[in-house]
Amino acid sequence: MNLRIPGPTPCPDYVLDAMNRDMINHRGPEFQDMLHRCTDRLKEVFKTESDVLILTGSGTGAMEAAVVNVLSPGDQVLCVSIGVFGDRLAQIAEAFGASVTKLTATWGTPADPEAIRSALAENPDIKAVLVTHNETSTGVTNDMAAISSVVKGAGKLLVVDAISSLSSLPFYTDEWGCDVVMSGSQKGYMVPPGLAFISVSDEAWKAFEEAKMPRFYWDFGRAKSYLNRGQTPWTPAVSVFYGLDAALERMLDEGMDAIFERHARIAQKTRDGVKELGLSLFADESCASNTVTAVNVPEGVQLGALMRQLQADHDVVLAGGQGALDGKIMRVGHLGYITDEDITQVLSALSTVLPQVGFQPVTSPARGA
Amino acid sequence: MNLRIPGPTPCPDYVLDAMNRDMINHRGPEFQDMLHRCTDRLKEVFKTESDVLILTGSGTGAMEAAVVNVLSPGDQVLCVSIGVFGDRLAQIAEAFGASVTKLTATWGTPADPEAIRSALAENPDIKAVLVTHNETSTGVTNDMAAISSVVKGAGKLLVVDAISSLSSLPFYTDEWGCDVVMSGSQKGYMVPPGLAFISVSDEAWKAFEEAKMPRFYWDFGRAKSYLNRGQTPWTPAVSVFYGLDAALERMLDEGMDAIFERHARIAQKTRDGVKELGLSLFADESCASNTVTAVNVPEGVQLGALMRQLQADHDVVLAGGQGALDGKIMRVGHLGYITDEDITQVLSALSTVLPQVGFQPVTSPARGA
């Protein structure tokens, strides 16, 4: 299967092979070694000297962990949303009692750092800014350098959902002063879902000491104290750890800069190819994500029929739209274990199937891929 | 490795093989089929007609889910603890604002149903009783039939941690009127950690509608509404699902009664063998668990030295004690993928290593195994 959704991503054979191993004692020396090795390597991926904690759960679990560990009920927070996942972060903050001011950009566009500056100036009691780095639902990447400059310039806590970007797109946790950053195994790491990663800056630890939202499973303090003795507080997803251990070694061998360049090149190839087919991109190229490309479903084409035929005839699986974009866009994931050939295959399949499901290009004829 | 800890348990080859498969779209038809199949089979294992939800997380996550979905801050609950995991359930309830009355049994003994009856009579405002079925830290199984008769007779909500028992020991969710029951993949299911299972009775759903504890990731309502369309709300641990799917098929082929009998027989063999070595059991045999046996560390023996040598010379890995029992007991896990030969090997290794680490039997000479 050419699985081209924005996570879970395909896994290389060396990841699947690493996972084909029986269980070990998660409170024994072998796990201790693996936990420390993975944690140290994740710090290199996060580009941080701060703590990185590995949690067993989905990315949304890490989002909940980020909220409940640094905030108290009633705390004022600014939630910067540019899509489904930005909305989700705001929903979590609200569910746990934060007082949320929401700054929403039109879907398909990035957050405006100046709008964040104004919102912070108008609401001086805001304690933290919660923002998505790469919005999977719209295929848009925010300018984190600019946003962090505004947020940290204002002395606020900066909480970043980098679940679908970190390890694929340039991200500099310490340089940008990000206090809490979330990521997940099923994205650029090329590992099955089940583990989430979260960095905690010194400032975030200070916030943790005062934070009063109820927490237990996601508690940073418990995770850190167990990490100090080479364990996780609760039984970890051991097999996913095996995969992560193998993947991180290969990733650092390839080098983060090389990984970033590969993602940028393949994303450009995707966008160029999609346009050559006569399709239009949902997001402007100036902010288009290099991990996922959102493509407008052309008039006259039923997305369900298109996706079913892509899978049935070509074994190509794309993602549809989420929320308000359901049926209106399709998304091509190109993160993690991705090659030029994978995208060539997607474009070729699209060029064959599109006319079969009623597509008539308006702008330029499909030239194939 | 002869991994004889009470979870994660060893995985059969057919589970590891099933997991050696690349990712699929967790919002596609293949995952939908697998989710429905696993859910239906789990209902057979739980012996319930009620909903069973599959959550991505550790067993402790399911414990948190149980608490936050049926309770409100200030609700009075009775927490019946007979060890570390009963204490943990009480800690979670307290962390989320419940008013906890705790009924604690001496470690190594089971809960007394009559004490529960008295506690409920003395505290008529108690809304729910939280209890551990099988206490992994002490190797004691509670009499759930008797406890449920008292709790449901008093009209209270019954929340049961059956993480280390359900699928290995007889458990009858509906017959016993259990409202919320938790279990986990890394126990009797012979699957790696990463998935937790939780049943929700009609009465629990009514409590859910009124429950005000903050929740998002663990929210039963979101899990149920996504299950209705063949999905999970958040990205699931797909590879663990593959293993679970394979394991549940084999378990139902073997038959739950046959599995219960196998566990009872092997547990008896373990207890008999340990006593023959001149060691003493931590818990009375009348309440001893059939998934894990707690053994007193004999005088003059350093548990660390014993466990290191068992692993180095015999590739046998046992668990130590938790909390107040650290260094005082060792625990032999015998749940899930377990055979008579596995226990023979454990007993043989113990008979060799014990004298090497200073053991001098007091009661009867070690006769080997």
Closest-CA distance, A242 to chain B, in angstroms, reads 11
d(CA A351, CA A354): 6
Closest-CA residue to A266 (of A9, A58, A45, A86):
A9
Q: What is the sign, positive or negative, of the torsion defined by CA atoms of B305, B306, B311, B313?
A: positive
Supply φ then ψ for residue A56, to 5 degrees. -90, 110
A216 vs B64, B184, B236: nearest CB = B64
Task: Say yes or no for a CB contact (<8 Å) between A10 and B23.
Answer: yes
Contacts of B24 in chain A (CB under 8 A): 1, 3, 8, 317
The total of other beta-carbon atoms located within 10 Å of residue B81's CB is: 22
What type of residue sits at position B56?
T
Task: Say yes or no for a CB contact (<8 Å) between B216 and A60.
Answer: yes
Task: Give the pLDDT mean for A337-346.
Answer: 97
Q: Which residue carries 């002869």 as its tokens?
A: B2
The total of other beta-carbon atoms located within 10 Å of residue B206's CB is: 13
Checking if the pLDDT of A366 tops 60, the result is no
d(CA A304, CA A301): 9
Strand partners, A51: A200
Predicted pLDDT at B363? 56
Task: Say yes or no for a CB contact (<8 Å) between B235 and A10.
Answer: no
d(CA B318, CA B301): 15
DSSP A103-157: EEPPTTS---HHHHHHHHHH-TT--EEEEESEETTTTEE--HHHHHHHHHHTT-E
Contacts of B1 in chain A (CB under 8 A): 22, 24
Closest-CA residue to A163 (of A85, A227, A256):
A85
Q: Is A195 helix (H, G, I), strand (E, B) or coil?
A: strand
Token duo for residue B32: 């939908």
Closest-CA distance, B365 to chain A, in angstroms, reads 31
Which residues of chain B are under the pLDDT cut of 50? Answer: 368-369
Residue A368's pLDDT band (cuts 50, 70, 90): very low
Nearest residue of A to residue B27, measured between CA atoms:
A319
Task: Say yes or no for a CB contact (<8 Å) between B56 and A7.
Answer: no
Nearest residue of A to residue B10, measured between CA atoms:
A23
pTM, 2 dp? 0.96
DSSP B50-81: SEEEEEES-HHHHHHHHHHHH--TT-EEEEEE
d(CA A119, CA A103): 8
A280-325 pLDDT, tens digit per residue, is 999 999 999 999 999 999 999 999 999 999 999 999 999 999 999 9
Helices A303-314 and A340-356, packing angle to 10 deg: 120
Whats the size of chain A, residue-wise? Answer: 369
Closest-CA distance, B369 to chain A, in angstroms, reads 24
Q: Which residue carries 């209902």 as its tokens?
A: B43
d(CA B197, CA B163): 9
Nearest residue of B to residue A233, measured between CA atoms:
B60
d(CA A23, CA A35): 14
Residue A369's pLDDT band (cuts 50, 70, 90): very low
Q: Is B239 helix (H, G, I), strand (E, B) or coil?
A: helix
Closest-CA distance, B128 to chain A, in angstroms, reads 20
In contact, A349 and A24? CB cutoff 8 Å? no
Q: With an 8 Å Cβ cutoff, is B60 touching chain A?
A: yes
Task: Say yes or no for a CB contact (<8 Å) between B186 and A17.
Answer: no
Closest-CA residue to B306 (of B351, B362, B361, B365):
B351
In contact, A145 and A116? CB cutoff 8 Å? no
Token duo for residue B150: 């008292």
Cβ-based neighbours of B250, under 8 Å, separated by 6 or more:
B12, B14
Q: With an 8 Å Cβ cutoff, is B24 touching chain A?
A: yes
Contacts of A23 in chain B (CB under 8 A): 3, 8-11, 186, 192
Strand partners, B54: B197
Contacts of A92 in chain B (CB under 8 A): 216-217
Q: With an 8 Å Cβ cutoff, is A56 touching chain B?
A: yes
A11 vs B22, B213, B236: nearest CB = B22
Closest-CA distance, B302 to chain A, in angstroms, reads 17
Closest-CA distance, B5 to chain A, in angstroms, reads 7
Task: Give the pLDDT mean for A340-352.
Answer: 98
Q: With an 8 Å Cβ cutoff, is A12 touching chain B?
A: no
Cα radius of gyration (chain B): 21
Cβ-based neighbours of B315, under 8 Å, separated by 6 or more:
B1, B2
Exposure of B285 by Cβ count < 10 A (0-12 exposed, 13-18 middle, 19+ buried)? exposed
Task: Say yes or no for a CB contact (<8 Å) between B235 and A56.
Answer: no
**How far is residue B180 from each of residues A215, A223, A234, B137, B243, measured CA to CA in Å?**
20, 27, 20, 21, 24
Contacts of A239 in chain B (CB under 8 A): 19, 192, 194, 239-240, 243
Q: Buried b vs exposed e over A206-243: b needs ≥16 C-beta within 10 Å?
A: ebbeebebbbbbbbbebbeebbeebbbbbbbbbbbbbb
Task: Say yes or no for a CB contact (<8 Å) between B214 and A216.
Answer: no
Task: Say yes or no for a CB contact (<8 Å) between B95 and A216.
Answer: yes
| Pairing assessment for the beta strands B134-135 and A99-104 based on DSSP bridges | unpaired
Q: How far apart are the first and last CA of chain B?
A: 19
Restricting to B residues 222-241, those with a Cβ less than 8 Å away from any Cβ of A are 233-240
Helical residues (DSSP H) of chain A, grouped into ranges:
13-19, 29-46, 59-70, 84-95, 113-122, 144-153, 202-210, 220-228, 238-254, 256-276, 303-314, 340-356
Contacts of A96 in chain B (CB under 8 A): 214, 216
- How many C-alpha atoms does B322 have within 13 Å on its Cβ side? 23
In contact, B70 and B91? CB cutoff 8 Å? no
Closest-CA residue to A220 (of A237, A203, A199, A236):
A199
Indicate which of B1, B20, B25, B242 best probes the interface with A, i.e. most A CBs within 10 Å of its own CB. B25
In contact, A234 and B60? CB cutoff 8 Å? yes
Task: Say yes or no for a CB contact (<8 Å) between A58 and B10.
Answer: no
Restricting to B residues 96-135, those with a Cβ less than 8 Å away from any Cβ of A are 96-97
d(CA B133, CA B46): 13
In contact, B50 and B56? CB cutoff 8 Å? no
Closest-CA distance, B188 to chain A, in angstroms, reads 14
Contacts of B63 in chain A (CB under 8 A): 217
Checking if the pLDDT of A116 tops 60, the result is yes
Mean pLDDT score of chain A: 96
Contacts of A3 in chain B (CB under 8 A): 22-25
Restricting to B residues 305-364, those with a Cβ less than 8 Å away from any Cβ of A are 311, 317, 319-320
Angle, vertex CA B199, rays to CA B196 and CA B201, nearest 5: 160
Contacts of A16 in chain B (CB under 8 A): 20-22
Q: Is A320 helix (H, G, I), strand (E, B) or coil?
A: coil
Predicted pLDDT at A361? 79
What type of residue sits at position B253?
D
Closest-CA residue to A217 (of B105, B171, B92):
B92
Model ipTM value: 0.96
Restricting to A residues 175-194, those with a Cβ less than 8 Å away from any Cβ of B are 184, 186, 192-194
Checking if the pLDDT of A240 tops 50, the result is yes
B193 vs A11, A60, A235: nearest CB = A235
In contact, A334 and A342? CB cutoff 8 Å? yes
d(CA B12, CA B301): 34
Whats the size of chain B, residue-wise? Answer: 369
Predicted pLDDT at B361? 79
Predicted pLDDT at A363? 56
DSSP B284-333: -TTTB-SSEEEEEPPTT--HHHHHHHHHHHH-EEEB---GGGTTTEEEEE
Task: Say yes or no for a CB contact (<8 Å) between A234 and B92.
Answer: no
